[in-house]
A = this chain, B = another copy of it.
Amino acid sequence: MRSAELIELWRGGQLESLHRGHVVICDKSGVVEAWGKPSQIIFPRSSCKMMQALPLIESGAADAVGLTERQLALSCASHNGARLHVDAVESWLKDLGMGESDLRCGSHMPGDKDENRRLTCSDESPCQYHNNCSGKHAGFLTLNRHLNGGSEYDEVDHPVQQAVKQAFEEVTGETSPGYGIDGCSAPNWSCSLEGLGRAMAAFANPGSDRRGQAMRRLTDAMRKYPEMVAGEGRACTILMRAMNHNVAVKTGAEAVFVGILPEQGLGIALKIRDGATRASEAAITALLVHMGVLEESHPAVGQFLTDPQKNWRGKITGEMRTSAGFPA
């Protein structure tokens, strides 16, 4: 079984580009619908941040310092580096008696237009608070203080990352084939797409045990504070708002996207083979409409999938389409 044709770009009535990939929809007992190859091994990248945040809650670290629901959302974020996010991470670390230099995620210019412009036009360099993963790292630092671990919390053999690995393997139900170094320097464990989908279904069907409670708190935090999970103009934020906060969705680099549907008890995981974000955003949008949790008439569906493609003069140049058989 190989990857499936998922998203197409058409111009002048002719197919111009094509995105293939793998998609699974899972319930608590496994895959209920799939396109492509469920056993495909992938790196979830940032789509598994809610799994990486489980030890933060399960260890008692989050409650020991009274983390808010808004901070829990930020611990699962790939944010825009807007002032909203930068200030939240800065005050979080300040409350812990720590600062920017304790982070190990590195610095990059923020995606947020206003903050990017402010830095660009003032010749100010971005700091580690601007890193889209700084909320996750603030969570790592919070857990690390609770575990009395060393400062190199991003090393693969560090107690923080070993706790993350254990939670990841337990929730995916797999022994990971290995890890890669992510853009923020943290280890990112690989799994099958099916394993990632199973994990999302577990978050959608949380039990009453400690893990179930942690999963529910993280899912609820993401749904309640979509602006903390990504930012204005970003797919995760726009889609969670468009679904009236009923569904949690999260993107990952190289075109991974996951969804947690508590009311349906379903989890979604998808990976576009070529790593194109435009296609992962279009595919998750098509799936959410297919599953009846996103109104087909909502502007977000137009933005990520159905609106005609236009050029600089507003002329229609083409359109994006889902391939035959996807999602239905």
Mark A residues whose CB is within 8 Å of B. 9, 11-14, 16-20, 41-43, 104-108, 117, 120-121, 131, 177-185, 188, 190, 254-255, 273-276, 279, 311-313, 315-318
Q: Are A275's CB and B317's CB within 8 A? A: no
> Are B14 and A180 closer than 8 Å at their CB atoms?
yes
CA distance A18 to B22 in the complex (A): 13
**CB–CB A254/B121 < 8 A:** no
Known A-B contacts A273-B18, A276-B274, A312-B105; A180 and B318 likewise in contact (beta carbons under 8 Å): yes
Asked if residues A183 and B106 are in contact (CB atoms below 8 Å), the reply is no
User: CA–CA, A105 to B43, complex, Å?
Assistant: 41
Q: Which residue of B lies closest to A15 (CB)?
A: B41
Return A276 CB to nearest CB of chain B, in Å.
6
Minimum distance in angstroms from A63 CB to a CB of chain B: 31
**A100 nearest CB across to chain B (Å):** 14
In the bound complex, CA of A177 to CA of B316 (Å): 19
* Complex CA–CA separation, A55 to B12 (angstroms): 24
Q: Is the CB of B180 within 8 A of A16?
A: yes
Contact B180 A313 (CB under 8 A): no
Copies of the polypeptide in the assembly? 2
Instruction: Decide if B318 touches A11 in the complex (CB within 8 Å).
Output: no
Contact: A19 with B274, CB < 8 Å? yes
Q: Which residues of B contact A117 (CB under 8 A)?
A: 120-121
State whether B14 touches A177 (Cβ < 8 A). yes
Docked complex Cα distance between A190 and B16 (Å): 9
A181 with B311: CB separation less than 8 A? yes
Q: Which residues of B contact A316 (CB under 8 A)?
A: 181
Q: In the docked arrangement, what's the CA distance between A316 and B181, Å?
A: 8
Residues of B within 8 A of A42 (CB): 16
Task: Check A274–B18 contact: CB distance below 8 A.
Answer: yes
Q: Is the CB of B190 within 8 A of A12?
A: yes
Our pick among B12, B185, B273 for the contact of A181 (Cβ within 8 Å) is B12
For the complex, what is the distance from the CA of A11 to the CA of B185, rounded to whole Å? 12
Can you name the residue of chain B whose Cβ is closest to the Cβ of A181? B317
Complex: chain B residue closest to A116, CB-CB: B120
Contact residues in B for A273 (Cβ distance below 8 Å): 17-18, 274
Q: Which residues of B contact A184 (CB under 8 A)?
A: 311-312
Given known A276-B274, A276-B276, A311-B106, contact A254–B16 (CB-CB < 8 A): yes
Q: What is the bound-complex CA distance between A177 and B15, given in angstroms? A: 12
Chain B residue at minimum C-beta to C-beta distance from A41: B14
Which residue of chain B has the shortest Cβ distance to A105 in the bound complex?
Answer: B312
Closest to A14 in B: B190
